[in-house]
Amino acid sequence: MLIAILVVGLVGLLVYLFWYGGYEGPIDWHGSRDARRIALTFDDGPDPAHTPALLDALAALDVKATFFVVGARAAAHPDLTARIAREGHELGNHTYTHRYLPLARARSVARELASTDAAIARATGVVPTLARPPYGGRRPATVRAFRRLAKRLVLWDVNSFDWKGAPARDIAERVLERVRPGSIVLMHDARDGAEETIDAVRALVPALRARGYELATAGATLTSS
Protein backbone atom coordinates (compact mmCIF):
# COMPACT_ATOMS: atom_id res chain seq x y z
CA MET A 1 0.00 0.00 0.00
CA LEU A 2 2.79 2.40 0.94
CA ILE A 3 4.66 1.63 -2.28
CA ALA A 4 1.51 2.33 -4.30
CA ILE A 5 1.09 5.70 -2.57
CA LEU A 6 4.72 6.58 -3.23
CA VAL A 7 4.41 5.62 -6.90
CA VAL A 8 1.24 7.70 -7.32
CA GLY A 9 2.96 10.62 -5.62
CA LEU A 10 6.01 10.34 -7.85
CA VAL A 11 3.89 10.16 -10.99
CA GLY A 12 1.94 13.19 -9.82
CA LEU A 13 5.15 15.13 -9.24
CA LEU A 14 6.51 14.21 -12.68
CA VAL A 15 3.23 15.27 -14.32
CA TYR A 16 3.35 18.56 -12.43
CA LEU A 17 6.92 19.25 -13.45
CA PHE A 18 6.14 18.48 -17.10
CA TRP A 19 2.81 20.28 -17.28
CA TYR A 20 3.76 23.37 -15.34
CA GLY A 21 7.41 23.63 -16.34
CA GLY A 22 8.78 22.99 -12.86
CA TYR A 23 10.14 25.49 -10.39
CA GLU A 24 13.12 26.54 -12.45
CA GLY A 25 13.39 28.32 -15.75
CA PRO A 26 11.82 31.61 -16.85
CA ILE A 27 9.44 31.88 -13.88
CA ASP A 28 9.91 34.16 -10.87
CA TRP A 29 8.56 32.99 -7.53
CA HIS A 30 10.48 35.36 -5.24
CA GLY A 31 13.31 37.85 -5.06
CA SER A 32 16.68 37.52 -3.38
CA ARG A 33 16.65 35.74 -0.03
CA ASP A 34 19.52 38.00 0.98
CA ALA A 35 17.47 41.21 0.76
CA ARG A 36 14.80 41.98 3.36
CA ARG A 37 12.44 43.25 0.70
CA ILE A 38 9.03 41.76 -0.08
CA ALA A 39 6.16 42.53 -2.44
CA LEU A 40 2.43 42.62 -1.86
CA THR A 41 0.61 41.74 -5.07
CA PHE A 42 -3.11 41.97 -5.78
CA ASP A 43 -4.88 39.98 -8.49
CA ASP A 44 -8.12 40.19 -10.47
CA GLY A 45 -8.94 43.93 -10.29
CA PRO A 46 -9.50 46.70 -10.74
CA ASP A 47 -12.72 46.50 -8.78
CA PRO A 48 -14.68 49.72 -8.19
CA ALA A 49 -16.16 48.25 -5.01
CA HIS A 50 -12.83 47.52 -3.29
CA THR A 51 -9.77 48.79 -5.16
CA PRO A 52 -10.29 52.47 -4.17
CA ALA A 53 -10.35 51.55 -0.47
CA LEU A 54 -7.26 49.40 -0.90
CA LEU A 55 -5.46 52.26 -2.66
CA ASP A 56 -6.45 54.59 0.19
CA ALA A 57 -5.03 52.12 2.71
CA LEU A 58 -1.77 51.69 0.78
CA ALA A 59 -1.40 55.46 0.51
CA ALA A 60 -1.92 55.89 4.25
CA LEU A 61 0.70 53.20 4.87
CA ASP A 62 3.08 54.65 2.27
CA VAL A 63 3.34 51.30 0.45
CA LYS A 64 3.76 50.64 -3.25
CA ALA A 65 2.33 47.35 -4.46
CA THR A 66 1.82 45.44 -7.70
CA PHE A 67 -1.62 44.97 -9.25
CA PHE A 68 -2.04 42.15 -11.75
CA VAL A 69 -5.12 43.43 -13.52
CA VAL A 70 -7.62 41.65 -15.75
CA GLY A 71 -7.82 43.33 -19.15
CA ALA A 72 -11.60 43.35 -19.36
CA ARG A 73 -11.78 45.06 -15.97
CA ALA A 74 -9.10 47.57 -16.94
CA ALA A 75 -11.08 48.39 -20.08
CA ALA A 76 -14.29 48.78 -18.07
CA HIS A 77 -12.64 50.95 -15.38
CA PRO A 78 -9.90 52.97 -17.09
CA ASP A 79 -10.00 55.79 -14.52
CA LEU A 80 -9.38 53.33 -11.69
CA THR A 81 -6.61 51.64 -13.65
CA ALA A 82 -5.06 55.06 -14.24
CA ARG A 83 -5.28 55.84 -10.53
CA ILE A 84 -3.31 52.69 -9.67
CA ALA A 85 -0.47 53.82 -11.95
CA ARG A 86 -0.74 57.49 -10.96
CA GLU A 87 -0.23 56.63 -7.29
CA GLY A 88 3.02 54.85 -8.04
CA HIS A 89 1.91 51.24 -8.02
CA GLU A 90 3.08 48.69 -10.55
CA LEU A 91 0.70 47.16 -13.08
CA GLY A 92 0.97 43.60 -14.33
CA ASN A 93 -0.88 41.67 -17.03
CA HIS A 94 -3.34 39.05 -15.70
CA THR A 95 -4.91 38.19 -19.09
CA TYR A 96 -8.06 39.67 -20.56
CA THR A 97 -10.72 37.17 -19.49
CA HIS A 98 -9.02 35.38 -16.57
CA ARG A 99 -9.19 32.03 -18.32
CA TYR A 100 -7.31 28.91 -17.29
CA LEU A 101 -4.34 29.06 -19.66
CA PRO A 102 -3.15 25.41 -19.63
CA LEU A 103 -6.27 24.61 -21.67
CA ALA A 104 -5.65 27.44 -24.14
CA ARG A 105 -3.58 27.36 -27.30
CA ALA A 106 -0.48 29.53 -27.41
CA ARG A 107 -2.12 31.80 -30.00
CA SER A 108 -5.06 32.38 -27.66
CA VAL A 109 -2.71 33.09 -24.75
CA ALA A 110 -0.95 35.69 -26.89
CA ARG A 111 -4.29 37.37 -27.69
CA GLU A 112 -5.20 37.44 -24.00
CA LEU A 113 -1.93 39.15 -23.14
CA ALA A 114 -1.97 41.57 -26.08
CA SER A 115 -5.56 42.66 -25.40
CA THR A 116 -4.73 43.32 -21.76
CA ASP A 117 -1.62 45.28 -22.71
CA ALA A 118 -3.77 47.43 -24.98
CA ALA A 119 -6.38 48.08 -22.27
CA ILE A 120 -3.72 49.06 -19.72
CA ALA A 121 -1.89 51.24 -22.24
CA ARG A 122 -5.10 53.09 -23.17
CA ALA A 123 -5.76 53.86 -19.50
CA THR A 124 -2.22 54.65 -18.38
CA GLY A 125 0.11 55.01 -21.35
CA VAL A 126 2.17 52.16 -19.90
CA VAL A 127 2.64 48.62 -21.24
CA PRO A 128 3.38 46.22 -18.38
CA THR A 129 6.44 43.99 -18.48
CA LEU A 130 5.25 41.63 -15.72
CA ALA A 131 2.49 39.07 -16.18
CA ARG A 132 0.82 36.41 -14.07
CA PRO A 133 -1.36 33.57 -15.36
CA PRO A 134 -4.73 33.20 -13.61
CA TYR A 135 -4.58 30.60 -10.82
CA GLY A 136 -0.85 30.30 -11.60
CA GLY A 137 -1.90 27.82 -14.28
CA ARG A 138 0.61 27.24 -17.03
CA ARG A 139 2.31 24.63 -19.17
CA PRO A 140 5.48 24.87 -21.25
CA ALA A 141 3.63 26.32 -24.25
CA THR A 142 2.07 28.96 -21.97
CA VAL A 143 5.49 29.95 -20.65
CA ARG A 144 6.85 30.23 -24.20
CA ALA A 145 3.90 32.45 -25.20
CA PHE A 146 4.65 34.79 -22.29
CA ARG A 147 8.30 34.89 -23.31
CA ARG A 148 7.51 35.71 -26.95
CA LEU A 149 5.57 38.76 -25.78
CA ALA A 150 8.54 39.78 -23.60
CA LYS A 151 6.62 39.19 -20.38
CA ARG A 152 8.36 38.33 -17.15
CA LEU A 153 6.22 35.56 -15.65
CA VAL A 154 5.73 36.24 -11.95
CA LEU A 155 4.08 33.87 -9.50
CA TRP A 156 4.39 33.92 -5.69
CA ASP A 157 5.89 32.01 -2.78
CA VAL A 158 3.35 33.11 -0.15
CA ASN A 159 -0.35 32.55 -0.80
CA SER A 160 -2.54 34.49 1.62
CA PHE A 161 -5.59 32.40 0.66
CA ASP A 162 -7.62 35.54 1.29
CA TRP A 163 -10.18 34.32 -1.26
CA LYS A 164 -11.22 31.54 1.12
CA GLY A 165 -13.10 34.03 3.28
CA ALA A 166 -10.97 33.98 6.41
CA PRO A 167 -11.07 37.03 8.69
CA ALA A 168 -8.36 39.67 8.34
CA ARG A 169 -6.47 38.51 11.42
CA ASP A 170 -6.10 34.98 10.03
CA ILE A 171 -5.01 36.26 6.62
CA ALA A 172 -2.35 38.44 8.19
CA GLU A 173 -1.13 35.68 10.49
CA ARG A 174 -0.84 33.23 7.60
CA VAL A 175 1.34 35.64 5.65
CA LEU A 176 3.49 36.52 8.68
CA GLU A 177 4.12 32.83 9.38
CA ARG A 178 5.34 32.16 5.83
CA VAL A 179 7.02 35.33 4.60
CA ARG A 180 10.78 35.31 4.01
CA PRO A 181 13.22 37.82 2.50
CA GLY A 182 12.34 38.27 -1.15
CA SER A 183 8.81 36.90 -0.79
CA ILE A 184 6.07 37.74 -3.26
CA VAL A 185 2.71 37.63 -1.51
CA LEU A 186 -0.49 36.76 -3.38
CA MET A 187 -3.65 38.66 -2.42
CA HIS A 188 -6.82 39.78 -4.22
CA ASP A 189 -8.60 43.12 -4.49
CA ALA A 190 -11.53 41.87 -6.57
CA ARG A 191 -13.50 39.33 -4.59
CA ASP A 192 -16.44 39.09 -2.26
CA GLY A 193 -15.28 40.05 1.20
CA ALA A 194 -12.20 41.96 0.03
CA GLU A 195 -12.72 44.25 3.01
CA GLU A 196 -10.96 41.52 5.01
CA THR A 197 -7.98 41.68 2.65
CA ILE A 198 -7.76 45.43 3.11
CA ASP A 199 -7.92 45.10 6.89
CA ALA A 200 -5.26 42.38 6.69
CA VAL A 201 -3.00 44.77 4.78
CA ARG A 202 -3.45 47.40 7.48
CA ALA A 203 -2.28 44.85 10.07
CA LEU A 204 0.43 43.28 7.93
CA VAL A 205 2.42 46.32 6.89
CA PRO A 206 3.40 47.58 10.36
CA ALA A 207 4.09 44.00 11.50
CA LEU A 208 6.37 43.37 8.51
CA ARG A 209 8.20 46.66 9.02
CA ALA A 210 8.70 45.79 12.67
CA ARG A 211 10.52 42.68 11.46
CA GLY A 212 12.80 44.80 9.30
CA TYR A 213 11.14 44.21 5.94
CA GLU A 214 10.90 46.82 3.20
CA LEU A 215 7.67 46.78 1.18
CA ALA A 216 8.22 47.21 -2.55
CA THR A 217 6.72 46.35 -5.91
CA ALA A 218 7.26 42.92 -7.41
CA GLY A 219 9.54 44.41 -10.05
CA ALA A 220 11.74 46.07 -7.44
CA THR A 221 11.78 42.93 -5.30
CA LEU A 222 12.86 40.79 -8.24
CA THR A 223 15.48 43.33 -9.28
CA SER A 224 17.23 42.70 -5.99
CA SER A 225 17.62 39.02 -6.95
Enter the DSSP assignment of 151: P
> Rounded distance, CA 214 to CA 212, Å?
7
Is residue 196 a contact partner of residue 222, using CB atoms and an 8 Å limit?
no
> Rounded distance, CA 150 to CA 66, Å?
18
Burial class of residue 131, CB neighbours in 10 A (0-12, 13-18, 19+): buried
What are the catalytic residues? 43, 188
Prior bond of 46 cis (ω within 30°): yes
Phi, psi of 187 (to 5 degrees): -140, 180
H/E stretch holding 208 reads helix 194-210
Contacts of 77 (CB under 8 A, 6+ apart): 46, 47, 48
